[in-house]
Amino acid sequence: MKKAILSLMLIAVICSCKEETTDVVNIEEKSIEIIEKSIKAQKEELLAKGFELFDYVDEKTQDTVIMQKYFIAFLKKGPNRSQPEDEANKLQAAHMAHLGKMYELGYADISGPFDDNSDISGITIYNVPTLKMADSLANADPMVKAGRLVIEIHSWWAAKGFPLR
């Protein structure tokens, strides 16, 4: 009798494990479907807005990564740097406000200064669909308008949504 009960319990455990395994597989398959739909929807939305994209397949993992064209604006020292200190400070505050607004509106993903005393003062990475738009936004910066900075823009491909590390 004990053997029969143990056998029934063993069969019950095996069957429940099979069901759990099937449930896990089904959940994983559904998750993959959702991710694939999300990626497809994200790509369709970006393409509709005019962004340039391509798929990159990682040879090691075989994962497909969306690559997007961004625009990096190099902020270089401009020809007019002789403003009085109080005016230069006001321009700096307006410059920071402009960059903050670009970030809040989703047009710029990251900005920052360099500290090596070169002619390049900093960068801003614009997340916009065209060079023309990036150039227009970068040249709207009060420091650029005042001639304290000049802009040099380059297109740059990066994996969409990947964080800095």
Predicted TM-score (pTM) of this structure: 0.74
* Per-residue confidence in pLDDT tens, the chain, 165 aa: 555 554 555 455 555 555 555 555 566 665 555 666 688 888 999 999 999 999 999 899 988 889 999 999 999 999 999 999 999 999 999 999 999 999 999 999 999 999 998 999 999 999 999 999 999 999 999 999 999 999 999 999 999 988 887
In this prediction, residue 16 carries a pLDDT of 56
Q: What are 24's two structure tokens?
A: 């896990």
Q: Looking up tokens 């969306």, which residue turns up?
A: 66
In this prediction, residue 104 carries a pLDDT of 97
In this prediction, residue 163 carries a pLDDT of 84
DSSP 50-74: T--EEEEE-TTT--EEEEEEEEEEE
d(CA 13, CA 105): 55
- Amino acid present at 57: V
